[in-house]
A and B are shown apart, each in its own frame.
Chain A
Amino acid sequence: MLTREHAIVDYRDGRAFPDRLDRTRHAHYVGYAERMLAIYRSGIGRERRALHRDVETLFAEEPDCPLRRIRAFAKLLDDVSTYAADPKGEASRLRLRVFDAAARFHPLVRQKDRLFEHAEAETKAAIAADVGLEWDEIDARLYADVMTFQRLESFQGYPDAVALLSRYNVAQLQACLYAAERVTVRATQDFKTILRYAKLARLLHEVRRVGPSEYAIEFSGPASVLRQTRRYGVNLARFLPALLACRGWKMTAILRTPWKRRAVLDLSDQDRYTSTLPPPEAFDSGVEEKFAATFGPERDGWRLDREAEVLADGQTAFVPDFVFRHEDGTMVLFEIVGFWTPEYLAKKRETLRRFRGHHILLAVSERSLREGAEPGASVIVYKTAIKVAPVLAALEAIRTSLSP
């Protein structure tokens, strides 16, 4: 990830436009990216500052390239590099030894005189002989552990030039979000992934239904209700790659500009950023996938939708695997509980208890049932695959129990 110092954001009319290299205006950047990768690939053994200087020199005559963009490229290249970091502190030990030896000759003067008889060159030669290296070698090693002088050991790199440019675009988007106070996502699918990664990024959510199978989820942190704070910008930036991997969403971030004004960043899956994460799996398990295939999109008046409803109570959110919608408006949630650890099952029970006001039909793997458990009417027990007939029967039972 980049730091705030790398961020290039154009704020216009209350909107934020993070720097983005596109295929038409910046087509020539593919060439730059190839040459940057070449500098690093052939740069094993060179000092960090030399690599950075070469990268900067590439852009010397480029009319469209702020200094921050060059620095950001260097950072992203460094992120996939390993430098010799001197973990044993050899440079540090050498320094102490040399400075200790030199202390009694202080000051090292250019010209000897009666009072000061320790000339720089002679003393350095004497110390070099004592250490057992040429002075030039000592001079080069003395500060070899300092970041700018560290030497490149290996370069993992990016698959190709386009991958580096995609990475750059996402990184600038994330750097822009460092200034975010809150983010609202309007989503029509992949709710599970969105909510799970937001929780991993330690964000609080507020879920609002805005249409059939469409939710507005606002993400922020605890102190966000107290004052405007950019404290959670890093969390929001960390959450972003997961969102970019999803489909069917729009996002609005409220940012605070360096001039203490408000600005918004609008983004959607149509902006086609390339996430570093793979897209979410369509189904959590083979059981689900198989059931969806067997049932089909619609059967006997019931339409089947995957992950289409979000139930929220405070900071607990529950996205059932499927939703059945009948022509007459009846809605039944369907959750499949596979074979899981007892801890997972206990947590799931707690969640279901919290949302017991909803019509939830459960399919439970036989192996997950407790010894001697008596599953209720809204529980279907399955062995390897969920059969359609008992599900339809249970759905109809719920529907008739609702009709007056």
Chain B
Amino acid sequence: MTVFIVKRLLGIAVTLMLIITVVFFLVRVAPGGPFDQDRQVPAEVIAALDAKYHLDDSLPQQYLDFMGDLVLRGDLGPCFKYPGRTVNELIAQSLPVSMQLGVLAMLLALAIGIPLGIIGATRQNSWVDTLAMSVSMVGLSIPRFVLAPLLVLVFGIGLYWLPVARWETWRHMVLPIFCAALPTAAYVARLTRGGMLEVIHSDFIRTARAKGLSESRVILRHALRGGLLPVVSFLGPGFSGLLVGSLVIERIFNIPGMGRYFVEAAQNRDYNIVMGITLVYGTLLMVLNAVVDLAYAWLDPRVKLEEP
């Protein structure tokens, strides 16, 4: 297993290098730089700023500088649009917020989706099942940016229960987390139901019943392990989807997370922020993927860990 981990980490490092390089050249090749966007600024000022940030160096030179800073000092460079701040600072501030949102939302999605899916599977075709699946279908069909204002209207403004912006107390977190979690919960419910259904009809479940085990023991001890495998596989792309969804959530609820900075930075051509955030997203997800693979191998003894 150590071999697996080491090989995986290496693979991740290589892929990240690749991604960084691609994005690096991508953003610089596109028209427009960080300082030409403001029409008020005269050309000499732009030139001076470009020179200060070495944006007038040749591309390969810029690349080497950037990679050098990154690898040797872990320095992602300065923010072009927020003078005086570095990308590292920005990320250090906003990443924990986004992670909180993401992790809590994922946990909530699992906590809602898995039981819902199990109930649907064990009471297949009953009214409970139909209700659960219809609700999850609705959850999948409403975009987060419709759900969010709706929830805000109902719970925030209408009922004065929960505040609707910023991120200070736990009360602030309820709506955004809920909003982020619901569509994912819907998907988890369907996955769980599908996985459980397939396991429930297999031979070894029949054996478990023939042994005289109670139904709850059959489901929880025997069926669940196999039935949840699709959900485990989904954790990787699921979390990735959550992060993407958080772009919307952070904007609507005015949460100072990474996502909010990302689109802005892209539109402002703030290269370093874009690179930094892309790097963080990429690392997060690839590490998560490796963990998921480990978890899957642990759950299903028939699976052998594959080296990347």
Q: Judge: A and B partners, yes or no.
A: no
